Amino acid sequence: MMPIVILYNAVSLDGRITGFDADLELYYELASKWDVDAVLMGSNTVLTGFGVKAGETFPESDDAFQPREKDPDDNRPILVVPDSKGQIRIWSEILKLPYINSVLVLCSRSTPREYLDFLDERYIDYLVVGYQKVDLENALEELNTKFGVKKVRVDSGGVLNGILLRQGLADEIHLLVHPELVGGSTPNSIFQTNDTDGELEPIKLYLGGMEKIKDDIIYLRYRILDGMFK
Ligand X SMILES: NC(=O)c1ccc[n+]([C@@H]2O[C@H](COP(=O)([O-])OP(=O)(O)OC[C@H]3O[C@@H](n4cnc5c(N)ncnc54)[C@H](OP(=O)(O)O)[C@@H]3O)[C@@H](O)[C@H]2O)c1
Site residues, ligand X (CB under 6 A): 9-10, 17-18, 22, 42-45, 48, 82-85, 133-134, 136, 155-160, 163, 192
User: What is the C-alpha to C-alpha distance for residues 95 and 102, in angstroms, rounded to an integer?
Assistant: 7
Nearer to ligand X, 155 or 172 (CB): 155
> Closest approach of Cβ 199 to ligand X, in Å?
19
Q: Quick count: other Cβ atoms within 10 Å of Cβ 74?
A: 10
C-beta nearest to ligand X: residue? 157
Q: Residue 210: enclosing H or E segment and its boundaries?
A: strand 205-214
Q: What are phi and psi of 125, to 5 degrees?
A: -70, 145
Nearer to ligand X, 44 or 101 (CB): 44
> Closest approach of Cβ 194 to ligand X, in Å?
11
Distances (CA, A) of 176 to 46, 99, 104, 153: 20, 20, 27, 14
> Closest approach of Cβ 70 to ligand X, in Å?
24
Nearer to ligand X, 68 or 126 (CB): 126
> Closest approach of Cβ 22 to ligand X, in Å?
5
User: What is the C-alpha to C-alpha distance for residues 54 and 85, in angstroms, rounded to an integer?
Assistant: 9
β-strands 4-12, 172-178 pairing: parallel
Nearer to ligand X, 48 or 57 (CB): 48
